[in-house]
A and B are shown apart, each in its own frame.
Chain A
């Protein structure tokens, strides 16, 4: 835990800096509207009172950190988790399609990578298409996937998960192609001297050698999956999920709700990346990795 303590001070000082800046901008951005209100009400508050008011608006342009914190706390801990306003409930809805899409994406990514590494034709034909697939803006593709799938009767979890899959298979493919090609020439020569078959070389050398690459790419993929799930909730008028909360907040100018949904999304993302990281470390240790 030495590294944790080493990081604590720098990370918290950056956080403190961000919070201070946030307050400064909250005052600056909310000031014009507050001035409008005061003029209409014929009030001339002092500087301190004025600043206090800019930080307590019900629908501020930029909510202050404490407003977001209070909203987040109420919607996370003070509501029953079955309530549609509960952030836990909404986070779970998004999380479930994220995990499903991530699982699909990882599996698809690995399968494509195995194909690319072993079949020269696939290496030449597939890779350009895979790269092209990621240059298409997901915001343009997402509604089409949702609409087309809804037309054939598939709604709910699967369409959102497919968007997650679409975003998450790519980093896994790229990482696994690199990982499966990572064994040293000497190790490949060694297998050659044993007259090992292609499948023996694959399972005993290429697969174990690719494991660190897999976990690195899965960290990127799980974050991409979450983005995919949230984007998938936007165009459908989904009733639940982090994306739905963001959209509803935008409709009704509930800026505090938007920000606290954003915080919830970030926390889910951080937890997912951490979970993959911990899983990676456990596997590394089980494979005889040198403790760092």
Chain B
């Protein structure tokens, strides 16, 4: 699969060691990974397995200390400078002094787009996340789920092909989360973007992904990569099917093999 489409993300022997007061901490060790265009890849693992760090390395928010990483065939830094990706954080991280539409406009202002172009993109992306009619609201007037949808709209607004999402629904309750997972899949199908998605929920990872990267801690590393056999069309109740449960069981086995359940 990755042989056919050009690699969006390619990591080879990637390592990152943080120097802390308690000595060096190996956050990532020997990560080899290729992500093709249009894939939905989840990174799952316990805290400290380096899944967020890996996402931040792809985003050029952290510099690797060994190995190489390329994004869209460029270095991560060049890709960031070319605005190759949209990043969604754990919290919505909206600016409280901007309305929803001005928040979505933020990256567009920075890119220097014309007002007309901005207005068109704001409308399109807010439609995409079902937030039409909330343009003039301030973040505090919206629920947590709506805020996170606004932040996804902001990440989509500048039309990058790659979407990096760091536990975007981690702080939301399960009902809202189900709903947003469903919407995210629809959005992915419609936009054909490549999505890297960090989570620590097994059902979420299995439901969303075409590929699940299982990671384990000390040192942070990739312990298993599982291809999903689920069809692209996924209603919520696909989670009750034997096929879904089999993949979930494989993810759980992968986590266990990486000693993720040890203390």
Indicate if A287 sits at the interface (CB-CB under 8 A): yes
A10 to B96, CA, bound (A): 35
Query: Least Cβ distance of A43 to chain B in Å?
Result: 71
- Tell me whether B140 and A290 are in contact (CB under 8 A): yes
Chain B min CB distance to A195 (Å):
5
Smallest beta-carbon distance B82→chain A, Å? 8
User: Are B106's CB and A189's CB within 8 A?
Assistant: no
Q: B83 contacts which of A190, A194, A200, A289 (Cβ < 8 Å)?
A: A194
Contact across chains for A288 and B96 when beta carbons are under 8 A apart: yes
* B140 and A193 contacting across the interface, CB-CB below 8 Å: no
Select from chain B the residue with minimum beta-carbon distance to A200.
Answer: B110
Q: Does B89 lie within 8 Å of A186, measured CB to CB?
A: yes
Which of B83, B91, B95, B158 gathers the greatest number of chain A CB atoms within 10 Å?
B95
CA distance A204 to B97 in the complex (A): 10
Is B106 a contact of A204 with CB atoms below 8 Å? yes
Count of chain A residues near B, Cβ 8 A: 20
Whether, in the assembled complex, B46 has its beta carbon less than 8 Å from a beta carbon of chain A, the answer is no
Residues of B within 8 A of A268 (CB): none
Contact pattern, B 96-126, Cβ under 8 Å of A = 1, otherwise 0:
1111000000110111000000000000000
Whether B61 pairs with A189 at a CB distance below 8 angstroms is yes
* Residues 62-100 of chain B, each 1 if its beta carbon lies under 8 Å from chain A, else 0: 000000000000000000111101110111010111110
Contact B97 A193 (CB under 8 A): no
- Are the CB atoms of B110 and A193 closer together than 8 Å? no
Contact status B109-A204, CB under 8 Å? yes
Q: Is A193 touching B91 in the complex (CB atoms < 8 A)?
A: no
**Complexed CA–CA distance, A89 and B11 (Å):** 76
B59 at the interface (CB under 8 A from A): yes
Q: Decide if A278 is an interface residue (CB 8 Å cutoff).
A: no
| Chain A hits for B134, CB < 8 A | none
Shortest CB distance A9–B (Å): 32
Asked whether B138 is an interface residue with its Cβ less than 8 Å from the other chain, the reply is: yes
Q: List 20 A-B contacts (CB under 8 A).
A: A184-B93, A186-B91, A189-B87, A189-B89, A191-B110, A192-B61, A192-B80, A193-B85, A195-B80, A195-B83, A195-B110, A196-B110, A205-B95, A208-B95, A211-B97, A287-B97, A288-B96, A288-B97, A289-B96, A290-B140
Chain B residues with a Cβ under 8 A of chain A = 59-61, 80-83, 85-87, 89-91, 93, 95-99, 106-107, 109-111, 138-140, 158
- 6 pairs of A and B residues whose beta carbons are closest in the complex: A288-B138, A287-B97, A193-B87, A186-B93, A194-B110, A208-B97
Known: A194-B110, A195-B80, A205-B95. 11 other contacts (CB 8 A): A187-B93, A189-B61, A189-B89, A191-B110, A194-B111, A194-B158, A195-B83, A204-B109, A288-B98, A288-B140, A290-B140
Which residues of A come within 8 Å of B, CB atoms?
Answer: 184, 186-187, 189-196, 200, 204-205, 208, 211, 287-290
